[in-house]
């Protein structure tokens, strides 16, 4: 990625997020609100990035997914 692209989670003033984790590529971020996990992701797009997109879903994003059942909001660019 070039420049300052990446993902973010905006939250209303007064709400507290915890367990914030980011992918080194800046294409994904995870935060926890109470017991709910929120993931925002930005996958590589375009036919020429098919291999990169496959790697993103099979390797990168798995680091943000919960290993145990949890309430989850998955948002971002699909």
**In a 3-state reduction of DSSP, which class is residue 23?**
coil
- Looking at the 3D structure of the chain, how many domains does it have? 1
**In a 3-state reduction of DSSP, which class is residue 47?**
helix
pLDDT digits (tens, 9 = 90+) for 14-65: 999 999 999 998 999 999 999 899 999 998 888 999 999 999 999 999 999 9
Average pLDDT over residues 1-24: 85
Domain boundaries, position 71: 18-77
Q: Among residues 24, 18, 19, 21, which one has the least CA distance to residue 6?
A: 24
Residue 71 included in any domain = yes
Going by pLDDT thresholds of 50, 70 and 90, the confidence category of residue 72 is very high
Q: What is the pTM of this model?
A: 0.82
Residue 3 included in any domain = no
């Amino acid at each position: 990625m070039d420049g300052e692209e990446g993902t973010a989670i905006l939250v209303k003033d007064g709400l507290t997020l915890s367990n914030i984790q980011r992918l080194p590529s800046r294409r994904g971020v995870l935060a926890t609100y109470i017991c709910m996990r929120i993931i925002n992701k930005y996958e590589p797009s375009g036919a020429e990035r098919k291999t990169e997109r496959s790697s993103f879903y099979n390797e990168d994003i798995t680091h943000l997914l919960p290993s145990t059942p949890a309430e989850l909001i998955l948002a971002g660019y699909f």
